Amino acid sequence: MRAVLDSSKRLDASVRHFLLRVVVRSGLGEHTYVPHTILSGREETATHQDCLDVMDAFFHDAVAELFARTTAGLGLGPRDVDVLVVNVITFHPAPSLASRIVRAHGTRNDVAAYNLTGMGCAAALVAVDLARNAMRARSPRPALALVVSAECIAPNWYKGRNRSMMLGHCLFRCCGSAALLTSDPALRGHAKMELRLMVRATIAGDDDAHSAIVQREDGEGLVGISLSKSLPKVAVRAFAANMKRLAPRILPAMELARFAAVVACQKLLRRGSAASTNKINLKADADHFCLHPGGVAVIDAVKRNMGLEEHNVEPSRMMLHRWGNTSTSSVWYVLSYMEAKGRLNRGDRVLMVTFGSGSATAACGR
């Protein structure tokens, strides 16, 4: 990234110094991935075909590797897929990216294909929720769903000097993932995880939440993605909105009773807001926390407000260091890190939480 900043003719010394300070504090390591257009010095002149090439490379690697495993182990291939959900936030060509996967991998003509865009980093679990609902609609017939998450930062490389719109250069990176979901009871024994519960909350009606991450033009008419200073606080508020629905459905009755008693006592004694001094103990139900690595400030804010320990958020920090914020696929990389480190045991409960522009999503699996 230093070489990219140094080679830019648009940036003066003060802006370069600002961005380098942000990079150092971002939590990202030196081996994250960016498009070939940036590595070749063409970050400001990326073409539409460049973006398609990046997406095709991600899709081929992720989807082909997934089916190589399932075909060898279970005899499942692209022709067995009933539902396809693709989510890429800021790149939406026509035909859709879902159509490109259908064409490249040869799924059936009756596959239900969906293409999600613009939903931010929360779209990973939004896509899972959509796939689950699509499979439920086919009940009682068992169904197979392919969920593909990726991001392409090439078309949104900001060329101006607005600092809030340049922060994305220091945080967002490229990667992709693919996951196979099924409602077939015969495949239960082969599944790595079971989805127990999915909860979604959208706080986009709030002005701060709506403007926390915005794709817009600057004063010179140059398009980019603006990141607000209020982003960590917005992430916490989105999570709190989610917990109001999630906690009563997953936490033991004793924990809910304890928290309710504390809240009641504090209100009677007028000692302020219970939320500021007491937190629900999410560890009473979840063994692991798979949090979206939106950035160091976001991880710290969520950790503090969820009452978590450092080892609970270590997978998110390591994912951010190795891969950067890869948008929709980030949470899958965190889960993969947990698996690779041997943290996940049979029967463990995992709480997955993603945050996007104006929304939050939580999934509880085991």
Domain ranges in the chain with CATH number 3.40.47.10: 2-190, 195-365
Is there a contact between 67 and 76 (Cβ–Cβ < 8 Å)?
yes
Report the sign of the C-alpha dihedral through residues 215, 162, 297, 305, in that order. negative
pLDDT at residue number 273: 47
Determine the average pLDDT of the residues in 144-150: 96
Q: Which pLDDT score, from 0 to 100, does residue 366 have?
A: 60
Greater pLDDT, 272 or 61: 61
Q: Residue 278 above 70 pLDDT?
A: no
pLDDT value, residue 20? 85
What SS3 state is found at 161? Answer: coil
Q: Hey, which CATH number is domain 2-190, 1.10.10.10, 3.30.1180.20, 3.40.47.10, 3.30.450.20? A: 3.40.47.10
CATH 3.40.50.150 for domain 195-365? no
354 contacts 331 by C-beta, under 8 angstroms: yes
Band (pLDDT 50/70/90 cuts) for residue 83 is: very high
* pLDDT at 364 exceeding the cut of 50: yes
- Residue-wise pLDDT for 230-260, tens only, equals 888 888 888 888 888 888 888 777 877 877 7
In the predicted structure, residue 274 carries a pLDDT above the cut 60? no
pLDDT tens track for 49-63? 999 999 999 998 999
Q: What is the pLDDT of residues 151-203, one digit of tens each?
A: 988 888 888 888 889 888 889 999 899 999 999 999 999 999 999 989 888 88
**pLDDT above 60 (res 293):** yes
Q: What is the mean pLDDT of the chain?
A: 87
Whether 363 and 201 have beta carbons less than 8 Å apart is answered as no
DSSP-derived secondary structure for 226-286: EE-TTHHHHHHHHHHHHHHHHHHHHS-HHHHHHHHHHHHHHHHHT---HHHH----GGGT-
- pLDDT for 6 equals 57
Threshold 0.95, pTM exceeds:
no
